[in-house]
Amino acid sequence: MILQNQNDTIVAVATPAGVGAISVIRISGNKSFEAIDVVFSGKIKIAEAKSHTIHYGKIIDENKNLIDDVLVSVFRKPHSYTGEDSVEISTHGNQFITKKIIELLLQHDVRIAEPGEFTKRAFLNGKLDLAQAEAVVEVVNARTEASLRGARNQLDGMLSKKIHELRTQLIDTSSLVELELDFAEEDVEFIAYDKLLLMVENIISEIDKLLGTYSFGKIIRDGVNVALVGIPNVGKSSLLNYILKEARAIVSEIPGTTRDVIREEVSINGVLFRLFDTAGIRPTKNEIEIEGVLRSREAVKNADVVLFINDVQQKISKELQEELLQLTSGDKVITVLNKVDLENLPEKEADVYISALTGYGINNLFSKLHEKVFSGNSYSEHSAIVSNSRHFENLKKAKIYLQNSIDAIKQKLSGEFISVDLRNAENSLGEIIGEVTSDDILNNIFSRFCIGK
């Protein structure tokens, strides 16, 4: 991507394409007021309007034709989303109107914004740090309450605050190395050495805590992949249908009904679950079924949780159970006994007893799923959670540098060696919040935004 000039005035439609009651066009940059005043006719010039005021008027084209009557909101720098002079034009919700207005504006020293450019400017002008800017996309894209809360937590700066703290501690530590430590003098070495080691170990343990939130954070953000597997006819598709409250998959008493993997999403207690109904696993010579069974195994490998479904009237397949344990880790598997409506006192052992026909035990199954996924982790408004792979990778890098520095300290290497590692760790943390950054990182992040954000 070519880096466009950050001083340009930019414009984009900020609302989704399509029909709506209103559409909003955003303009930001030094020429915002000048540009809008050329096309807008209201009681006063926007250039003379106070910040945070709204003005009714008309957008008129070069031939004096009325395009639309609109409301223009005025934000003067630095009190705007981007930190620059900006305006938002609310028009009637029609894309011909917004298209026409944008065409008019483009004739007046304004260019179309790149994806994420408004938020990028907000970052460059210090309105948000990088982790918060990334959270803007997450908030917009969140599809469940839980993912929204997680994104909100990051936008509110929970993670940023923690990273800041760790960075400050690191800076203090490396100053200690650079100023006080002198390993050449044997006498002073001992105290400083111990103290230093302790400081670095503390920071590592804090980083470990953050790393530990990632699996939870990722699930909150992306949802949980759940594979429904078992031998044929145990009621996998019936369970899928029951959970979705619709006859999504074909159900029949003929074993081997499902051949393809059927994927559906459902929100259970605010968390996104992606369910994969699979072909019953059994030895077979049928080519289509062989492919189906292969796909079932793939689904098991990709799952965060595997529901191993059994039927009260069939033997629990030890073979399949063994196989599942080879394909995935045992702690991901929940053993489910289905069709308990057919037997009063099922004798077979299972984690959960259900009936996909009557709905018996389904809530219990949901609780077990939540337990499995969150294994004691609970969401807190006040603690930092890592959900972004870039942040996770940077934390891991920082940890490795810190471990290297511990080695250097233990080997009593001279201060320069230790401080190089500490500085590197500091930079890795700095990249998370954008205190240290490069155009590549920024382009990579902001190009994932939509235009107008």
Ligand X SMILES: Nc1nc2c(ncn2[C@@H]2O[C@H](COP(=O)(O)OP(=O)(O)OP(=O)(O)O)[C@@H](O)[C@H]2O)c(=O)[nH]1
CB of 230 to ligand X, least distance (A): 6
Q: What is the dihedral of CA 294, 297, 299, 303, to 10 degrees?
A: -170
Give me the residue label for tokens 């920024």.
442
Is 381 a binding residue for ligand X by CB under 6 A? The answer is no
DSSP letters for 337-383? EE-GGG-SS--S--SEE--TTT-TTHHHHHHHHHHHHHTT----TTS
- Secondary structure E strands in 61-203: 66-75, 86-92, 110-112
Is 310 a binding residue for Mg ion by CB under 5 A? The answer is no
Is 237 a binding residue for Mg ion by CB under 5 A? The answer is yes
Is 357 a binding residue for ligand X by CB under 6 A? The answer is yes
Which range of residues in 171-179, 355-363, 388-396, 429-437 is near ligand X by CB under 6 A? 355-363
Is 236 a binding residue for ligand X by CB under 6 A? The answer is yes
Give me the residue label for tokens 């499995």.
372
CB of 225 to Mg ion, least distance (A): 18
- Cα gap 171→445, rounded to integer Å: 27
Nearest to 73 by CA among 87, 94, 61, 63: 87
Q: 20 with 93: CB under 8 angstroms? A: yes
Which CB atom, from 153 or from 338, has the smaller least distance to Mg ion?
338
One residue of 195, 256, 290, 351 binding ligand X per CB under 6 A: 256
DSSP letters for 33-65? HHHHHHHEEESS-GGGSPTTEEEEEEEE-TTS-
Is 235 a binding residue for ligand X by CB under 6 A? The answer is yes
Residue 303 CB partners (closer than 8 Å, separation 6+) = 225, 226, 227, 276, 328, 332
Is 258 a binding residue for Mg ion by CB under 5 A? The answer is yes
CB of 234 to ligand X, least distance (A): 5
Site residue total, Mg ion (CB under 5 A):
4
| Contact partner at residue 330 from Mg ion, ligand X, none, CB < 5 to 8 Å by partner kind | none
Is 428 a binding residue for Mg ion by CB under 5 A? The answer is no
**Site mask, ligand X, residues 310-349, x = CB under 6 A?**
----------------------------xx-xx-------
| Contact partner at residue 357 from ligand X, Mg ion, none, CB < 5 to 8 Å by partner kind | ligand X
Is 258 a binding residue for ligand X by CB under 6 A? The answer is yes
One residue of 217, 232, 415, 434 binding ligand X per CB under 6 A: 232
Q: What is the CA radius of gyration of the chain?
A: 29
Cis check for the bond before 255: say yes or no (omega within 30 of 0).
no
Backbone angles phi, psi at 273, to 5 degrees: -115, 135
Nearest to 388 by CA among 437, 444, 317: 444
**Site mask, ligand X, residues 276-315, x = CB under 6 A?**
---xx-----------------------------------
Is 207 a binding residue for ligand X by CB under 6 A? The answer is no
Is 251 a binding residue for ligand X by CB under 6 A? The answer is yes
Chain residues binding ligand X by CB under 6 A are: 230, 232-238, 251-253, 255-258, 279-280, 338-339, 341-342, 355-357
Chain residues binding Mg ion by CB under 5 A are: 236-237, 257-258
